[in-house]
Homo-oligomer: A and B are copies of this chain.
Amino acid sequence: MRMPNKPLSKGKERFIEQLGERGLIEIIVNKFNANANRRIVTVGAGEDDCAVIDIDSARGERKYLVVTTDTVQESTHLPEGISPFQIGWTAAAVNLSDVAAMGARPFAFTVAMGIPEHTETSFVKEVVEGIEKCASAYHTAVVGGDITRSKELILTGTCLGFADRPVRRAGARVDDLVCVTGSLGNAALGMNLIKRFRDTEIKVPVKVEEIAKKALFQPLPRIREGIALADSGLVTSMIDISDGLAISLAELAKSSGVGFEIYEDKVPVLSEELRTAEAFDLSSIGVERRALASYGGDYELLFTINIDANGLERMSETIEMSVIGKVTPHEAGIYFKKGEEKEKIELVGYQHF
Q: Which residues of A contact B (CB under 8 A)?
A: 1, 3, 5, 16-17, 19-22, 24, 42-43, 48-56, 58-59, 63-71, 73, 75-77, 98-99, 101-102, 104, 108, 110-112, 114-115, 117, 143-152, 154, 156, 158, 160-163, 166, 168-170, 238-240, 247, 250-251, 254-255, 347, 351-353
Contacts and interface: CB of A to CB of B under 8 A. Distances in A.
A70 to B, nearest CB: 5
A16 to B, nearest CB: 5
A305 to B, nearest CB: 17
Contacts of A160: 65, 67, 160
26 contacts: A3-B254, A5-B254, A21-B353, A42-B64, A43-B166, A48-B102, A50-B98, A50-B99, A50-B104, A50-B161, A51-B66, A52-B65, A52-B163, A53-B66, A55-B65, A65-B160, A67-B158, A69-B112, A69-B146, A70-B112, A73-B150, A110-B158, A112-B156, A117-B353, A150-B154, A160-B160
Given A156-B146, A353-B16, A67 B50 contact: yes
A-B pairs with the 4 shortest C-beta distances?
A49-B101, A50-B66, A156-B156, A158-B158
A254 B75 CA distance: 39
A304 to B, nearest CB: 14
A143 B353 CA distance: 22
Contacts of A168: 43, 48
Contact of A239 (B5, B49, B151): B49
B52 A59 contact: no
Given A5-B250, A98-B49, A144-B69, A22 B351 contact: yes
Q: Which of A51, A115, A156 is most buried by chain B, counting CB atoms within 10 A of its CB?
A: A156
A240 B239 CA distance: 39
Contacts of A352: 21, 147-149
A149 B76 contact: yes
Given A50-B99, A101-B50, A154-B154, A70 B166 contact: no
Nearest to A65: B53
Contact of A71 (B16, B55, B146, B162): B146
Contacts of A351: 20-22
Contacts of A70: 1, 112, 146
Contact of A156 (B71, B77, B163, B347): B71
Given A5-B251, A49-B239, A76-B149, 11 more contacts: A21-B352, A48-B102, A52-B102, A54-B63, A65-B160, A67-B144, A70-B146, A71-B114, A73-B150, A77-B148, A148-B352
A347 B75 CA distance: 36
A288 to B, nearest CB: 24
